[in-house]
Structure 1
């Protein structure tokens, strides 16, 4: 029965092409042992070339014995065997990850490395319908969007899951019938892990009311998957129309043309955030995270921010959304300008000259000129501080905070704008924006300052 079911799954989702070279991930547990045996029996129909891969997480005492078991299993079928190992616990602690996430990351990295090095066209994993149902409840408990609730994909790029429509009960029946041995992972009984809690407690209760919950929910998940695939096509069209860019580790989205259906907005936003900040991962963002970002996008005035996992922050700055690592406190030293010369500061290089510049009719925003009779050295270059003001004729002394708000300068940029001040601490020039107009040259002796970005 399983063979026919898997055969239909392969055809329905086009998991294999004729002549595929398939790397089968085998832990030694019941699911992966069943997967390997089934693929060996179906391999002739698709002319598949199979090999076995096993990753040792070094988390349990029996891990080495499990690796030996899988090695013997590969030998039984006459298949090539590839193994890898990492100290997952140490990696999790270093990166601040949970054990499950760190283990998954290291395991997938190993499989991808072997697949690329040895020229495999597909990687087959042993996820089952039971796993899919458990994943649905895990994500529902945490809070998830349609993207999360759709469950585990039968196929994603070159990764395939032939057992995704087979229940764990069917797998045990198959193993018993075929007299196949497997190893038991002792950690699967530890209900401190969310998946095990869902499997052994939540689903046990639900099955008292509906013993066929896996098959019932399997049909629901199939429907959700088709809905999600349709929305994905619409999201891709929307992304082609959106104005966004990713540079220096930060994503910028122009909100002026972000006028889509609410469902498209949610999925487009989620897709971009995952693509640039959590690539190759799932389950990092909850529905609350996406709603939080959409919430600040709906605000019309000023700047708003919302925190995302792992130190990422979304900030709406007028008609722009900026997503990236949270800004750290800037502690750039002051630079004292004592006369003519070159003065590096932050991302800029300042060139200071003194002389007759009356032949220069206009200055761009990266140049400033002051009457040397009104402005004297030393000058100071630094970033803004609370209370800084700029004297504007006819207005008076205006706080830089208010000036930036009026000019709609994004909050993230305000902290990186250099200021040039005199020895009294008065702001003479907001670099790239405005200088004191009452200090412009009237005589022939001028202090000329040019700011250039470092390359």
Structure 2
């Protein structure tokens, strides 16, 4: 089957319901991203779609030649009529980037620029040109960092961009099963020129060192590819069992999402279900489910900690423990001792932690931007007094004396039920609002951060 047909089938599978009216492409100018752009353009033409394609190039300004490459990229795009929607953004990096994990910070800054450009055009989906060789590099790097079997599954065909905005992009990687030499051949066959970043082959990053090693040792690379496919198959088996368990719990109302305003989820599992499933399946279930309510900045690297604590859920009786900056309360159901109720909530906030409040800048008109608080809640305030200064922080036990007036106290208020929930306070420290408990959408909107994981 030709690369074009494989690509077409992949796109149709990803967008099963309908192809979006607008799609962005992360275009570095390299062979992979140019092949991606050409494949997508042909797909849209062959399927007679009215989808608009927006190539996006981010100039990091880290190489002398990078600025000069932009017009070269534009000229090449004009060959297949994609230059009209070409978008670009220039980044700059202050001195502190020299002392921090540069690659990760640069990645976040790049995603922020891409996200801003996509939002300005009403784009929700971006395609990226990561291919199978990239995947094997990532697999090797994760092996070197002692990743567990879940982490070794590496990049996914569909994922979410980092939550740098209340609207996260869908990141599509349709070339993950395609080898780089196939993309090189495709570009040569279609008379497509690309930009070669020679720093990709200099031993200046760990990934570059791995890339060069794999090029020089094809037998090792072949073995790694075989092992990666075994890991992929194993993860597919685990994910299938997790999805079946999750869907069954959803169908029978065993996952209680009614207390999300307080960042709390309750799961009811029978002892039989706990016995039937391995620690890996149970850990994966909770790990995928709890991401939106965890404030942990290191969540993605914490799966093994969840796996290590599943034994506590299997123990008879009650137990409480903290994990992922969440409090886990496990106890037998009062109505049925053969069933366990597992309530997971935002871990208690100390007075010191509460000082890490979020300043609310009130522009003219009183409507704020969307603000991420506690790495859990996105908040947007709409009718704030511009003459006051506000902060958002977590509710504390001592706050019972800090209400600005009794009208804003919820009728069912008990501290034990509202602890750690966000509160809006004025410059005197008086509580003005419970944003996540307000039913007045004319005053405030809120939502949890998007789940980085999905169930099928």
Aligned to 2:68: 65
Aligned to 2:219: 208
CA shift, 1:221, in A, is 6.1
Alpha carbons of structure 1 residues 55 and 231: separation in structure 2 relative to 1, 3 Å: farther
1:305 and 1:316 in contact (8 A); partners too: yes
The correspondence for 1:159, drawn from 166, 171, 175, is 171
1:235 and 1:267 in contact (8 A); partners too: no
Q: Deviations over 1:388-439 (max 9, x none)?
A: xxxxxxxxxxxxxxxxxxxxx99x99xxxxxxxxxxxxxxxxxxxxxxxxxx
The correspondence for 1:241, drawn from 246, 254, 278, is 254
1:253 and 1:321 in contact (8 A); partners too: yes
In 2, the alpha carbon distance for the partners of 1:348 and 1:283 equals 32
Alpha carbons of structure 1 residues 292 and 212: separation in structure 2 relative to 1, 3 Å: closer
CA shift, 1:14, in A, is 4.7
Alpha carbons of structure 1 residues 8 and 90: separation in structure 2 relative to 1, 3 Å: farther
In 1, the alpha carbon distance for the partners of 2:294 and 2:96 equals 19
Q: Is the strand fraction higher in 1 or 2?
A: 1
State yes or no: 1:195 paired with 2:207.
yes
Max Rg structure: 1
Aligned to 1:25: 26
Aligned to 1:178: 190
Alpha carbons of structure 1 residues 297 and 27: separation in structure 2 relative to 1, 3 Å: same
1:15 and 1:162 in contact (8 A); partners too: no
1:9 and 1:162 in contact (8 A); partners too: yes
Q: Deviations over 1:77-101 (max 9, x none)?
A: 33211112333566868xx963332
The correspondence for 1:294, drawn from 295, 302, 310, is 310
1:6 and 1:165 in contact (8 A); partners too: no
CA shift, 1:32, in A, is 0.6
In 2, the alpha carbon distance for the partners of 1:113 and 1:236 equals 34
Q: Deviations over 1:232-290 (max 9, x none)?
A: 52353346523464456x556578879643333211221134333479x9983244332
The correspondence for 1:119, drawn from 109, 118, 122, is 122
Taking structure 2 as the reference length, what is the TM-score of the superposition? 0.59
Alpha carbons of structure 1 residues 44 and 316: separation in structure 2 relative to 1, 3 Å: closer
Aligned to 2:7: 6
CA shift, 1:347, in A, is 0.7
Q: Superposed, which structure 2 residues align to 1:345-364 within 5 Å?
A: 346-349=398-401
In 1, the alpha carbon distance for the partners of 2:33 and 2:346 equals 40
Q: Deviations over 1:332-380 (max 9, x none)?
A: 9xxxxxxxxxxx99312299xxxxxxxxxxxxxx9xxxxxxxxxxxxxx
Q: Superposed, which structure 2 residues align to 1:52-131 within 5 Å?
A: 52-79=55-82, 80-87=85-92, 98-120=101-123, 122-131=125-134
Aligned residues: 339
Q: Superposed, which structure 2 residues align to 1:376-415 within 5 Å?
A: none
Q: Superposed, which structure 2 residues align to 1:34-49 within 5 Å?
A: 34-46=35-47, 47=49, 48-49=51-52
Name structure 1 gaps, 5 residues minimum.
333-343, 352-365, 367-408, 414-451
Q: Superposed, which structure 2 residues align to 1:320-359 within 5 Å?
A: 321-324=344-347, 327=350, 329=352, 346-349=398-401
Cα RMSD (Å) of the superposition?
Answer: 4.6
In 2, the alpha carbon distance for the partners of 1:172 and 1:256 equals 51
Alpha carbons of structure 1 residues 295 and 56: separation in structure 2 relative to 1, 3 Å: farther
Taking structure 1 as the reference length, what is the TM-score of the superposition? 0.59
Indicate the SS of the match to 1:200: helix
